[in-house]
Chain A
Amino acid sequence: GENVEQHPSTLSVQEGDSAVIKCTYSDSASNYFPWYKQELGKGPQLIIDIRSNVGEKKDQRIAVTLNKTAKHFSLHITETQPEDSAVYFCAAGASDYKLSFGAGTTVTVRA
Chain B
Amino acid sequence: SAVISQKPSRDICQRGTSLTIQCQVDSQVTMMFWYRQQPGQSLTLIATANQGSEATYESGFVIDKFPISRPNLTFSTLTVSNMSPEDSSIYLCSVPGRVNTEAFFGQGTRLTVV
| Interface pair B107/A42, CB less than 8 Å apart | yes
- Number of cross-chain contacts by CB at 8 Å: 56
Query: In the complex, which residues of chain B have a beta carbon less than 8 angstroms from the beta carbon of A54?
Result: none
Given the known A-B contacts A97-B96, A98-B33, A98-B48, are A46 and B104 also in contact in the complex, defined by CB atoms under 8 Å? Answer: yes
Q: Do the beta carbons of A89 and B101 come within 8 Å of each other?
A: no
B13 interface hit (Cβ, 8 Å): no
CB-based contact B33/A101 at 8 Å: no
Partner of A46, one of B41, B59, B102: B102
B101 interface neighbour in A1, A44, A94, A100, Cβ under 8 Å: A94
Residue of A nearest to B105 (CB): A43
Chain B contacts with A in 1-27, Cβ cutoff 8 A: 1, 4
Whether A51 contacts B42 in the complex (CB less than 8 A), given A43-B107, A97-B31, comes out as no
Hey, which chain B residues are within 8 Å of A44, CB to CB? 43, 92, 105
Residues of A within 8 A of B73 (CB): none
Q: Which residues of A contact B (CB under 8 A)?
A: 1, 31-32, 34, 36, 41-46, 49, 51, 89, 93-95, 97-104
Apart from A31-B101, A44-B105, A97-B103: 15 A-B pairs, beta carbons within 8 A: A1-B59, A32-B101, A32-B102, A34-B102, A43-B4, A43-B92, A43-B107, A44-B43, A46-B102, A94-B101, A97-B96, A99-B45, A99-B94, A101-B43, A101-B44
